[in-house]
Chains A and B, each alone.
Chain A
Amino acid sequence: MSLGICLDCRRHARASEAACPFCGGTVQPPVVRRVAAGTALTRAVLLGATLSAAGCDFTSAQPVYGAPIPADSGASDSGADGDVSAQPLYGAPVLDAGADAAMMEETGPMADYGAPPPPPDAGSDAR
């Protein structure tokens, strides 16, 4: 199911809805995003720090209200070996060849007992 945002009440609503089921407002379609080729799939990537909008008006990649995501916040320097073959898809990239892209955007990027990922410059001493 693809969810857009109601421009009036700010709730998510199915992109197929003629109007928001909660308030009757206009539903803005979801944004299609791309992951740069060679990007290792980490939580920071799933969080969107390294995504760019594609296939639609770029402005819709910004939050409808509130502040935009700071450009330098949380981009991934995993030190990982880039074994992810990134695909231009809605949502998160595909991890394994043949995996279903829709599955990949189903999950959130973290667990409650974990920790936020390091900031972008924390991998400079990778060994």
Chain B
Amino acid sequence: MTNPLGPRPKSLPIAPKAAPAKRSLPLADEVRDVDRQWRPIYAVWEITLACDLACRHCGSRAGKARPDELTTEQCFDLVDQMKDLGVKEITLIGGEAYLRDDWTDIVRRIRSLGMICTMTSGGRGLDLERCKAAKEAGLQSVSISIDGLEANHDAQRGVDGSFRAALQAMDHLRAVGIPFSANTQVNKINMHEIPATFDLLCEKGIHAWQVQLTTAMGRAGDETGLLLEPYQVLDAIPMIAALKEVGDARKVRLWPGNNVGYFGPYEHTLRGGWAGGHRGSCSAGRRTLGIEADGSIKGCPSLPTKDYVGGNIRDNSLKDIWERSAPLRFTRNQSLDTLHGFCRTCYYAEECKAGCNWTSHVLLGKAGDQPYCHHRASELLREGVRERIQKKTPAPGEPFDYAIFEVIREPWPEGEIAAARAKAMLDPLP
């Protein structure tokens, strides 16, 4: 079978050995009111970087365990501290979380304190025995990663047979009575088969489907053939919104990832049922907590290590890192003045604050301006221009690293613009 992605770029190691955690990072002396008011309700926790897949888009370049991953006792202590800080729900990720021998002990500890526990998995090694152990420990749902139909999925996941293994993992989960959902990345090579993928997943019995755009972090930043051009959100977002309505009809909840947006005519379909009736701004360090397996604490699990680790749980309490580290405070300090480019003057800037900070930071090297935005792409289409990306500097090849891209603004091709406007139901600017 021809690999739709072509050969893997060879310039970087597939699974680099992670550097030891950054330690003894500075904390502010003072705790402000705003630092006490915000508390995390949701934590996403990489409990190991070990992985049995080799995904071409893996943001953390997972494969080998970190050299200094937390011990079981340190993990238990961290669970207790999360409970004390107000966390209600923890999703375990990896690498592959189940590759840690004590993963079900961690699940059990989380559940014993009354918190929700779920897991995200590629599913390759999620056999019946592991599923039984997870059920017994109290795991409440598993989200299986499926990135298209078989050939496309296997190409992206880097292992032949991974698609079938993932579907089999769903069968095992069903057999033991653990509800399962799915998560799917949308990108250049699979966009055409996303509706068929969702249909297959609904038939398989998922209760929810998380969908997000492939983001230029880690190995995905090496794979320029994978990343959507920003103007392609004009096709991707309406497609996802249409699938939301399909999901509603089939009683499968569609979770649009935080980089699916923003504020165009489809926001109401995608998020009209949310508390605010639409997406808010980035929740990193306000509602969300991210943890790396070596005890590094970030405001969101996806954010790049270099810029967003605020401290290490071996050095400080979780509460101190949450309240007093600058990288955890960054969205508490975000304002119109921290935005730039198109987002700075956008009608929705105050609500949106440039969308997902992870997506923009790993693309452009800093947050505050968001090319992957439906509202922006459609306003530019009105003007007759569109944006695409071009890599300027490659990534160094470390877990959670990023390349630097530049955004190129160009006229829409003459032969395509009328059709693009008609599809978006947009009039040109007078």
Interface residues of A (CB under 8 A from B): 1, 3, 5, 9-12, 21, 30-31, 33, 40-43, 45-49, 51, 63-70, 72-74, 76, 78-81, 83, 90-92, 95-96, 98-100, 103, 105-119, 121-123, 125-127
Contact = CB atoms under 8 A, between A and B. Distances in A.
B114 A109 contact: no
Contacts of A112: 210, 212, 215, 257-259, 302, 356, 358
Contact of B141 (A41, A45, A63, A118): A118
B169 to A, nearest CB: 14
Interface in B260-316: 263-269, 271-284, 286-288, 290, 300-302
Of A112, A118, A121, A125, which is in contact with the most chain B CB atoms at under 10 Å from its CB? A112
Given A95-B86, A111-B302, A12 B112 contact: no
Contacts, number: 240
A38 B281 CA distance: 26
B179 A122 contact: yes
A117 B142 CA distance: 9
Given A114-B91, A115-B91, A96 B37 contact: yes
Given A21-B347, A79-B114, A115-B120, A108 B279 contact: yes
A66 B269 contact: yes
Interface of B: 36-39, 41-42, 44, 59, 86, 88-89, 91, 93, 108, 111-112, 114-116, 118-120, 138, 140-143, 178-179, 181, 183, 207-210, 212, 215, 241, 244-245, 248-249, 251, 253, 255, 257-259, 263-269, 271-284, 286-288, 290, 300-302, 331, 347-348, 350-351, 356, 358, 375
Nearest to A69: B273
Given A12-B268, A95-B39, A110-B255, A47 B263 contact: no
Of A1, A43, A65, A83, which is in contact with the most chain B CB atoms at under 10 Å from its CB? A43
28 contacts: A9-B265, A11-B263, A12-B268, A33-B275, A41-B88, A43-B41, A63-B268, A65-B268, A66-B245, A70-B248, A79-B116, A100-B37, A106-B280, A106-B281, A108-B281, A109-B42, A111-B42, A112-B215, A114-B120, A115-B142, A115-B143, A116-B207, A119-B179, A122-B141, A122-B178, A127-B108, A127-B111, A127-B138
A3 B351 contact: yes
Contacts of A31: 277
Contacts of B284: 111
Of B111, B207, B281, B358, which is in contact with the most chain A CB atoms at under 10 Å from its CB? B207
B39 A46 contact: no
Contact of B93 (A49, A113, A123): A113
A36 to B, nearest CB: 13
B44 A118 contact: no
Contacts of A118: 116, 118, 140-141, 179, 207
B377 to A, nearest CB: 14
